[in-house]
Amino acid sequence: MKLKLIFLTLFLTIMQLTLAQVRFEAKVSKKSLGVNERLRIDFEMNKDGDNFTPPSFSGFTVVGGPNQSISNSWINGKRSYAKTFSYFLEPTRRGKFTIAQATIEIDGDIYKTLPVKIQVTGAVDKPKDANDTDFLASENLHLIAEVSKANPYLNEAITVVYKLYVSPRISVSNWRELDSPKYSDFWSQAIDMKQLKIENGEYKGEPYRYVVLRKTVLYPQKTGKLNIEPLTLTVSIDVPTKRRDIFGGRLYTTINKTVAAGNRTIEVKPLPTQGKPDDFSGAVGSFDFKVSTNKKELDATESLDAKVLVSGNGNLKLFDLPKLSVPNGLEQYEPQHNERVRTNLTGMGGNISDTYTLVPQYKGKYPIPSISFSYFDLKTETYKRITSEEIIINVKNGPDQTNAIVTSESKGTNKKQVTQIGNQFRFLKLEANLQPVKREYFFRSTLYWISLTAPLLAIPLFLFFGKKRQERLNDVSGNRVRKADKLARKYLSDAKKSLGNQKEFYIAMERALHNYLKAKLHIQTSDMSKERIQRLLKERDVDEAVSIEFIALLESCEFARYTPSSTSAMQQDYDKASRVIATIDKQL
């Protein structure tokens, strides 16, 4: 009987340890899929952790994610917790692939998932049932990337316009970006879209409505085949079903559909080598060039400005201006660079300039020699050169230049023997009137006695502050509160820095609110349900209106990440968060 009791005790202990252990695993929606299908992978843990690091997903393109979800429930007095990071993957080719290990830190220990093997086969037939909601959404919703030119020259501007086409048979209620293209091989500039406008058009000969979501100007920086990464959206679509209401009207169901613009490949041509000038610096487009000065007559030691200016249309920000060369006798300072460039669908336009400050030292005539600027003209597909005119600077009044003569006829310098002038050394003093320095000894001085007694007087201060520091270190709960309060201020500061970047702003805002609750209510993120937060704030005598406003802020952070929001709306949410946190602080 005792032996059975011992075995039963051991069995229950082992089961309890097994149930209490940390689980971190990778789960996939399927282990075999077609090259035209998508895969979902979930990294799930049963305990909250930090520093999650996903694998590289070799052989796949991430078209969605990471999406984070938390499940926290109590069943028969036992807590069940799950935290999941989800990714949506699209295979790049056929073959066998291994999704490597993901890692996370839980309670100071590093946990890893097991590698997952995936088989990617050829394209499979997708359902073509006209009543299937997913098929209806796929056939009536299209995200297209329109590229203005498929074979540009190096540094020639091209435009990518992203359009979302929606058939009249469905309607879109909401959308958000899952993944934005990086344009790693391009210089890129997004065109400001002040307002989204719905227009009527055609797609493959059928009537559609469409909206232009994004316009981007690209300048390729490499030759050969370059890939333009896809823009990926998740769209909420209202799709008709076979069911009808009591009045005979068709009922609709809402589904979430992930759409991507697809990879686009362009073939970038190198600039021709035939006729390429030696001083070519990479300018491509159509330009004008000139060198000018604000003065042509002045006195010695006065300053003038010489400007080297290139204007026109092309890659104005992507090349260097030619350097100005001046003769001896003109002191030249580092130029001030200025750019007045606008970017629209045709590319960059405007002007760039270098302004030099020149100061003549002697009277005479100084020629600023002509300089040349070369560029590649896209219209004629040839190189062109523009040469500036020579500029003569006439310095009327000033000391004679005894060591060089510069004239417009010579266009150079003729060195002569340096002559001495009688007053060259007029600043040397022959009688210095020096005074003896009074010597002071450090020993037994005031500074000596202060240095001797200061360490002794500082000992009680060290003991006092050391005791206070130890008390602070021993205050574990207080340290947690201070740390969370510091994090809340930090994240609120991060949110302010991210104004204008919707996704980053609301993530930082949500973290700030959560860390503030950790500091004031001593609860963990996994326990933060809205009902529990309201109950705890009420127990601390916080006004109900303030509590409701705080919960509304949390909901605003959740919804705003999935719906478009303006900078002014973000500023209002930031001001509201600062005010609500200050109000709760006063009431607590």
User: What mean pLDDT is predicted for residues 397-423?
Assistant: 50
Mean predicted lDDT score pLDDT of the chain: 80
Does a structural domain hold residue 10?
A: no
More confident residue, 469 or 248: 469
Are 530 and 559 contained in the same domain?
Answer: yes
Q: Which of the listed residues 268, 297, 329 is the one where a domain comes to its end? A: 268
Split into its structural domains, the chain has a count of 4
pLDDT of residue 158: 95
Q: Which residue has better confidence, 111 or 516?
A: 111
Q: Are residues 316 and 345 in the same domain?
A: yes
Q: Are residues 297 and 400 in the same domain?
A: yes
Both 308 and 363 in one domain: the answer is: yes
pLDDT at 488: 57
Residues 264 and 137 in one domain: yes
Residue 421 pLDDT more than 50?
Answer: no
Q: In angstroms, what CA-CA distances link 153 with 149, 185, 285, 314, 488?
A: 10, 14, 10, 12, 50
| CA–CA distance, 310 with 307 (Å, rounded to integer) | 10
Same domain for 159 and 262, yes or no, is yes
- Kindly state whether residues 145 and 107 are assigned to the same domain: no
**Burial (0-12, 13-18, 19+ Cβ within 10 Å), 48:** middle
CATH value at residue 331: 2.60.40
Domain C-terminal end among 63, 89, 121: 121
Q: Is residue 2 part of a domain?
A: no
Q: What is the CATH number of the domain that holds 533?
A: 1.20.120
How do residues 527-545 score in pLDDT, each as one tens digit? 567 777 777 777 777 777 7
Question: What is the reported pTM?
Answer: 0.51
Least confident stretch, 92-106, 362-376, 384-398, 502-516: 502-516
Candidates 237, 280, 521; CA nearest to 383 is: 280
- Give the pLDDT confidence of 340-396 residue by residue, as tens digits: 999 998 899 999 999 999 999 888 899 999 999 999 999 999 999 999 999 999 998
Q: Which of 89, 97, 102, 99 is nearest to 61 (CA)?
A: 89
| φ, ψ dihedrals at 189, nearest 5° | -145, 120
**Statement to judge: residues 112 and 138 lie in one domain:** no
Q: pLDDT above 70 covers what percent of the chain?
A: 79
Any domain includes 358? yes
Tokens of 436: 């003896």
Q: Are residues 357 and 334 in the same domain?
A: yes
Instruction: Give the domain range for residue 351.
Output: 287-415
CB-neighbour burial class of residue 436 (10 A; exposed 0-12, middle 13-18, buried 19+): exposed
Q: Are strands 24-28 and 206-220 parallel, antiparallel or unpaired?
A: unpaired
pLDDT digits (tens, 9 = 90+) for 193-230: 878 888 999 988 889 999 999 999 999 999 999 988 88
Residue, of 31 and 7, whose pLDDT is higher: 31
Residue 19 predicted with pLDDT over 50: no
Residue 130 has pLDDT above 80, yes or no: no
Q: Is position 278 within any domain?
A: no
